[in-house]
Chains A and B, each alone.
Chain A
Amino acid sequence: MSEAVFRIVAAGPHVSVQDGGRPGLMRYGVPASGAMDRLALRFANRALGNPEGAAAIEISIGGLLVECLAGAVTLALAGGGFHFRHGAAAGPIWVVRTIRAGETLDVRPGYWGNWCYLAVAGQLVAPVWLGSRSTHAPSGLGGGLLATAGEFTVADAEVRPDREGDLVLPFNARPSLVYPVVMGPQERCFPPSALAALLSSPFVLTDSYDRMGVRLAGPTLTPVDALAIPSEAVVRGSIQVGGDGAATVLLADHQTTGGYPKIATLVASAVDSFAQVRPRAPVRFRAIDTAAAVRLARRQAAVERGVLAALDRR
């Protein structure tokens, strides 16, 4: 079987191996991790005919420059408004190309999006932890962070000219300005003024942003009922409010329990899109009830199935 070997010429912070994640282990303190934008990961893999949750490289706005040392492999790039340079070719990502020994590939952020996925026609070689190659960034367990001067290998590397070409940017890939939330589970800890402020004021994502979560700047949401709730399970998308009244949205590598009150929770089907909102960009929150949230999740799943199925007809 053929192999392709890459040298990491330069990797920004937070570039890591991610796959479909390791759900079901929250009771052991382990969040699901996996791609910050799961739809983009699925899209990149599906464009190559891979299982949608196969391991890929998650590239942050720090960018990634790699050189192919040996072999050749077809790869897909999807997620955010990133750009690539590959030899003499350059352009927006959402593309499938083949890279060969001696060539370099440079992936840089563009005007929108935080995370881009580099999927390969083959298997990205990386350690498995608890059934998944996803990297749990705070511990480094799983597939691992990519560091400048390191290497990675693609096993069973294939060249697939039939898959090469531009991909159509899915209409739902771009982040939104308004995100749906379901209030609670601790909205009771907040005065009516804080609940109103959450839904009526814009919030700005701060630079305190990593795979665990992002802190928001906006109105102070001081809880009335101090911070004495016994620690309980939290989820990806929980909006927790610290003692200082600042909100943090928990993301893929979130801590699994917390004692801060959660004023509201992002609808899960919107969390991928939220992960592509840049630091310093504004967002607003809109409250919907649980029935509407379930309908939204089902509609979104149908739309995603359609977007992914269209890749097979290229």
Chain B
Amino acid sequence: MEYDLPSDFDIIVVGTGMVESIVSAAASRIGKRVLHIDSNSYYGGLWASFNLDSISKIPEGNRSQPVVENKENEIVYPVGNDVFDLRIHSQKWHIPESNPEKDVDESDSAVAQEEHEWTQEKLLKISRKFNIDLAPKLHFAKGDFVELLISSNIARYSEFRSVSRILTWLNGSLEIVPCSRSDVFSSNRVSVIEKRMLMKLLTSCVDGDENEFKGYEGKTFQSYLKDRKLTENLIHYVLYAIAMCTDDTLCLEGVEKTKRFLGSLGRFGKTPFLYSMYGSGEITQAFCRLSAVFGGIYALNQSLNGFIYDNDNTFKGIICGKQRINATHLVMSLEKLPKEIVDFSTTEYISRAIFITDKSILEDEREHLTLLLFPPVDRKAACVVLELGSLTGTCPKGLHIVHVFTKQTVNPEDDLKHCVEKLFCKREGESNSSPSILWSFYFSAPNTFSQKLECEKLLNTYVCPGPDLDLDYDPAIERAKEIFERIYSNAEFLPRAPDPEEIIIEGEDNNNIINETEERAEVPADQGDVSSELAHEDDT
């Protein structure tokens, strides 16, 4: 379809990843004219979720390799780099393509109910019931992210599920981590004496005065736990599961992490964590929606052909298709950065695996949403395992999606092998109590949060990192806020959006109420802030 976008904005946001989407929402919210575009046909960039069919086709990168053009008074930089692409290591089926003996033309519910022999054909047929995250995230119930969602009123767009149990790997088997008071007391894995010790320790981590940790400034959290005479098992629970630390984590950091965990208990459900229904990719869309509600213009699937700068390297505009669009500020995701100015000396990677499995890693009467914190062993880093069932809206009934990830040291297969081998059947067709892997996907994703992303060379230009290893979105929010405050230093960051009941009168949509207006006007330019809209008279 042929159309032109408006050609003048306060800010252009390129890419619909998490950080970009938060900045877009925040700018729109204070009345700035925002153009938010993406060269992909989907929302989320490296933070997106895909159905089964489309994840098998995700491009490893978006390449166009034109060169820097020097025009009179202006420089046009090409868009995109291949430095921060996903690196796909393998994507494999572990089930037959089809089952010729059976009639495959069954309805979805029949597929879910029957005692099934899963085939590739069957799974692909219900491909859209899958929402597979490239960067799965959990949310601390009292963390920065949840607080921001609530304070900005974005929370109403999304639905969440509580993580229903937290597991760890201890003495060769999966154990439920007792994380709340009632868990601790009902656990039969913890002796009465241990219960008292654990409660006492958790209490002193939360309420402990400075003296409690005196002398531990340079020491590890593990040494503190040992000095408190905790048993081996308790140290394991606290160190690896509750605090999510390594043996080397310093005491005060361990205490902070314990507090982060305990502080989120009891707000929404049994564990401190929430997961966004239909996948983590929904979250970027919620921020984009807020941006649109406040007048942000959205255009996916755009061919971006260049970033325009003047001779002083000040941002002027972009070339989108054949159109030139001007703006004062440019915010972009790092994979859209011109190759010429990327500093990629220190890119770290995250090793990720995604599996579709036929049952839970720890079967129970009801479906669980499980977080397994797999401890570090033999110089292998700790792995995070997230198992999602059909109640999360990310996979069909009877199946699970399992995400496994860790900091990359070698490659995804090698980094995760020790953990994967313990949880799943080793060979195809082997039947024991472990779940079988029906489909597997190993890839590396860049972790760019620790990377320097200032482009000092280019003025009025701000770069957003991709997904990191944090369980929650805290670092993304912090980065978005930083960018927002550098652009609009005195403005409020995502103040609460009004509820429908609080908005009395419409302004801009008036021409839409009467059908004589043939087309929706080219809206964006004159959308003031909401407070001025509220003052208009209702003339319908």
Task: Indicate whether A and B interact.
Answer: no
- Tell me the A residues contacting B by CB distance below 8 Å: none
- Tell me the B residues contacting A by CB distance below 8 Å: none
